[in-house]
Structure 1
Amino acid sequence: MKHLFVLFLALVSLNCFSQTEELDNLAIQLAYESSESSKVAISIEIIKNLIALKDFDKALKHIKQSEKLSKKLNSDKKLAQLLYYKALILSLKDDYITSVNLLNKSKALSIKLNDSLFTAEINSKLGAIQIEHGDYKQGIINIKKGIIQLESKNDSPTLSEAYNTLASAYKNINQFENSQKFYLKNIEINKNLGNREAILQTHIDLAELYIEHKHYKEAVFNFENALTLLDTKNEEYKGRIQPQLGTAYINFKNLDLANRHLIEGLEINRRLKNTEGTIHSLNGLAELNRIKRRFKTAKKLALEAKTLGESINDKQKLLYSYRLLKDLDSLQGNFKQAYLWQSKYFTIKNRLDREKEKKEQLARTLDAITIENDDLKVSTLSKIKVSTVANTQANTPFKLAFYVLIIVFAIALLFLISISIKRNGLLKDIRRLETKNRDIELENKSILEQKEHLESINDIKDKLFSIVSHDLKDSLISTKEFIDLLKDGSISQDEFRSLLPELSDNANNASLLLFNLLNWSKSQMQTLVSNPSLFDIQEVFYEKIKLIDLKLQSKNIQLVDKTVKDVVYADRSMVEIIIQNLLANAVKFCKSGDIITLSNHISNGYALITVADSGIGITEENQRQLFSKNSISTIGTNNEKGTGLGLSICKDLVELNNGRIWVDSTINKGSSFYIELPKDKVKTPELV
């Protein structure tokens, strides 16, 4: 009857545990095993497999039955193992207190059996559980005990786990050197074991430690090593590595590599819906665009990162986003908003600094602790007990003195508490003053940046006036002289009419000069904003050809219009300024009989506009500085004057509309100016 009952249990086990072949085989062995000691051993193997499969309830049932048999057999070794596995399961079920108690009971049995290897394993697991629940002090002590024993027994797999847990614990309490030491030990031990996955994971953990402490060279080295070990299909690891590697390359000033890794990291993390990785990528790209002075794009990215950071309350990433937003608004003159970001930044920073201070205090406490083996500790405690019993009677006459000392100690303690309270009050006052000082520093920095910005604008103004004053003065004086001649009667009405074309040219030149000056100065002051829309580029050509018709006739220049209807996506008023400047330049540098040709067509999905002339051409030296702010005005074929600002304005306006402009010219053969503009709304290059 007894055998039938065991067989029934085995068949039930076989039905429940048919997930793996090994469990099936163990269940069959258990059904036909007659030795109770062997049954417990087989049950322990089944329990291990069930824990691996996370079938905790069935594992606990086996543990309960096996505990009864172990107590019946008086087998402390098997009971210690069962208590160990039960503790692991309860830890995974978040029953921390019971789990720790069971591990301590298991360790006591293991010490009694003098099983140092199993004691080491228990110490390591006990330390890991304690650290996981915030008890770093006792957790690190227990793991160190385990490591001492495991290193002496050369148990590599368990030692690897202990090294990794200890390195992570030291990382969390800001003990950089200890954390680095145990991560490096873990890499070495896993190289001997040939555990590629563990080496990969440790390289990433070590790289993140280096990033945290600003050792960017070492971080890049470890991240690159991790990528070489990585299966290309494993996007989860890539999503974790790429944003941090991109950030490290920013600190190396390698912006191209940083951009590549950050964009790839953003794409992967968005695809995986990994919020932390997405925030890291967005912050990195925002920092990159800030460095490249693409403030609008940088702020958009930083705001998105800030919103995601607030949704998961990630203080470290929020700190990064607030700092970026403060810098961006400060650089753009939004000092009020910058001050608000600064306040949020310091609110989080002060909180993190307090947490860091607690961790550093814990780290100092741990440094003062020496680790002893359990057997040595038990021996020491025994000696203390014997010594206490032997000296009890001898110490009786000194009881009165002892009580006096306690009273003195209590008075001293009250005095120290009073001092501590006063000290804490002073510290709070100091912190408030520090916060005010930081706010004042921010205001001073903002004022300095505003001063530098105003000085820059003033320099631009001085330069502009120095460039245009002469030409503008000549045009206005010439116009005034014509009017004075007519007023004084020095010339007849017929003579005045013959001079009207020249007077008109002077007025047009002054008008165009002021028009270019206004738009260029606005662009330099960062107030010119593109408002793109879809429109027909051919309509712009028709309007601008009418404005130069008289000039074409007076210089005997032929205009060939090859333009076709085509839609572009840009700010129409800006495109009109660009076309007007290019047509005016073409007329200016053509001689009698020359030809100006206008055309447009589609190229690589963009609208390509061409203004070509058969005029005097441009030297290679002048071509190199043609679009710069320092370009020099050149006299036209009929001694037309200019400021040299027109093409600089054109370049600024084209780039504001996500386009580009370039020239191809040969002396005495002519020049061709090309403009490439988008045909529809495009993404900014940083987000592609």
Structure 2
Amino acid sequence: MLLSPAVAAQQDVNDSLLTSLQSHIKRDTARVNLLNRIARIYFTKDATLAARYGEEALLISDSLKYTNGRIWALRNLALVENTKGHLDQQMQLTLSALKLAETIGEPYMLGVLNNDVGNIFTELNSPRDALTYLKISLAIKLKRNEKTEIGKTLNNIGSAYIALKMHDSAMYFLQKAEKIKLELNDQRGLAYTYENMGIISMVQQNYNDALRYHLLSAAYYKEADNLPGVVKANLNLAEVQTMLGDLKGADKNLDNAKALNDKLGNVKNEMIYYKIRYELDSARKDYVAAFNHFKEYSNRNIDYFNAEKGRQISRSEERYESEKKQRENIVLKKEQHTHLATIQQQRVLVLSAAALFLALLLITVMVYRLYKRQQELYLELNNKNREVSMQNRIILEQNATLENLNQVKDKIFSVISHDLRSPLAILEGLLFLLKDEKIDANQFRLYTDELWRDVKNTAYMMDNMLQWASNQMKGIGVKADDFDVTLLLSREFDLLQTLARQKEVKLSHELNKSMMVYADPDMIRLVLRNLINNAIKFTPAGGEVMITAQCNKETAEITVKDNGTGIPLENQHRIFSNIYYSTTGTQNEKGCGLGLHLSKDFVERNHGQIWFNSMPGSGSSFSFTLPVSEDHEINPRAYTVVVQDHPLNGVSVLRR
């Protein structure tokens, strides 16, 4: 009884269609049309159910070769992907449907699908590409005078102009869309239009107008049972209410949005939720909660940024390959025209020579000379061909070099944009709170250990990245020399001991005598640092990391062993491969996936071997060998072992 007439009527339609589907079991075009209609209605209510109907419609359409059914099934499956935030999958399905619609030339389908492609480009932050498809869609719909569809496209053009920050143009198209939808009583469509108007009012800081528009949008989304729309409306309302000081209302809408989005699994909405939650906590002056929510938002924002960057790189690569093929085709056509002209010229010369030979015997000399000239031309052409082939080989080698450098650049950008930005973003947030006196120095000190560890891990990570980049771009020469591994370890031990102490991990070694090897000391220092740092990273509090060594006449073997989390069996084959494999540590420490790969390269460059043994849940041990110095037995070094209590926590430290 509480349902509005529109909702009750829609429910009757749904029940009628489901009843018709249950009674119509024959796998024909009529069943396909029923399945597509039901999937279109349910994609905003129950995405899983809509996907099931869409997949059945697609399967039957393929078996019947029913193009119209296949187009609408692909479109419905694309809409389901949109509710999950999977824009790339939605774009692939929609473009497949659009190509099929172009083959049959059905104008209504072309108008709808061009509109869908424009929407996707807007959500992918490519509004100029979006306007190209949206204007094609609008022209088709205006020609057919389809007012409902015209209203949808006008609304979507407004969305594209919002993305371009052309708010006056956006409001112009949105008001035209509102007028049409009010005339048609299109409540479902008005929800999208009022949402966009609310967004513009927010940007212009007209918060009362924004609140009014978002309340209208929320009511229409709820009445249409559009779950993704209700989530967006709740998030928009929460942000406006935060700005207006209605903190209880904002909190309630945020809770509603999160509960619904947990069912949908939309990553972008989850990122927006933590952003608004951070703003709400700041308004409440709950700065600890604000900091934690800011961290969650920052992590998701970085992941979303990397996904966007990946999509842009993919599109750039496709555009580059297309332009490259076009250039190659132009070159091939020019060469073909040149060869055809040469062949035609040769034919004319031969025919002329034959005619002259029959006419006058004296022309024989001229023909002979022409023949000789032809042979010279062929020789020159062959020489030119060899030069072109050689240039092509040079170009291919240069392309391979450029491709390797491009991979190095992409890896560096990926590490800088993700792993370096994350600790800096957290540090920025804390300094912002400290600067504005929203957090005192005592509270700030609670986070200093975590920040110090993050910064130190980032420094190690940048070391690995720079070494790897230098190795990839210009190569690193091995500067081998005789040195003492025990002395080298002792110089690195204090800093690594500090890292271990912060995690409450016991770090010790049994290298109590000189061990002379012949290798590059800088490379081996990086190998030791990476192996020990990795062991600390994946060992929980209370665990232990032990460094041991043994030596024979030819090689020295060093082992770093821990009793930490171990490496999953399914990932062990990736440890030393060319695939850059990285996971977070027991306290969410991050890496760039280059340390072990670089360590393997450096050990092998110094004529050693590296291997590991690991059992999930029981820890790991990494070992490597190095050639022993020729004077290892001649000049042994002795060390005095001093056991000293650390003044902070009483941990015993070995100094040599």
TM-score (norm: length of structure 2): 0.37
State the structure with more CA Rg: 1
